[in-house]
């Protein structure tokens, strides 16, 4: 079993990563950090830089947690990719960061976090920064 965190380099992503490291340490499980750009995107602000990835691995190691970073591009919906990877790595829990959105914003744009919460067949830990 592993702990899976959906990570983007934002305050929400950093909160999710911190919570995931704590959860992995508590469960004594390795951590998989999913930081995936959309397939075909020439540039993605969602992808962590090499320096940021090194800092994440270092932070996890300092807490005694082995971390694996996955940055393979995904096609389709991000929520589907998170749920798919959770199945592949046999995640015991999925950790996601939440950002504040208005009800109208959720209606118009949808919510990847909401889809993960509804579609995942395992526990989801949702945190705010």
CA distance 3 to 41: 27
Burial zone of 59 (CB within 10 Å; 0-12 exposed, 13-18 middle, 19+ buried): middle
Judge whether 96 and 16 are in contact, CB under 8 Å: yes
Domain 2-127 in this protein, CATH class: alpha beta
3-class state of residue 96 by DSSP: strand
Domain ranges in the chain are 2-127
What's the CA gap between 44 and 95, in Å, rounded? 21
The pLDDT value given to residue 42: 61
Q: What is the pLDDT of residues 18-60, one digit of tens each?
A: 999 999 999 999 999 999 887 766 656 678 889 999 999 999 9
pLDDT recorded at residue 87: 97
* 77 pLDDT higher than 70: yes
Average model confidence (pLDDT) for the chain? 89
Q: Identify whether the C-beta of residue 122 lies closer than 8 Å to the C-beta of residue 91.
A: yes
Q: What does pTM read for this prediction?
A: 0.89
What confidence score (pLDDT) does residue 24 get? 98
């Amino acid at each position: 079993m592993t702990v899976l965190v959906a990570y983007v380099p934002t305050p929400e992503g950093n909160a999710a990563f911190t919570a995931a490291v704590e959860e992995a340490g508590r469960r004594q499980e390795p951590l998989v950090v999913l930081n995936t750009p959309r397939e075909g995107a020439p540039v993605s602000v969602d992808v962590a830089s090499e320096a940021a990835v090194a800092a994440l691995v270092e932070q996890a190691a300092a807490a005694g947690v082995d971390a694996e970073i996955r940055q393979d591009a995904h096609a389709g919906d991000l929520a589907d990719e998170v749920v798919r990877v959770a199945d592949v790595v046999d995640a015991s829990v999925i950790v996601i960061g939440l950002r504040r959105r208005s009800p109208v914003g959720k209606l118009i744009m949808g919510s990847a976090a909401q889809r993960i919460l509804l579609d995942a067949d395992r526990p989801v830990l949702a945190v705010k920064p």
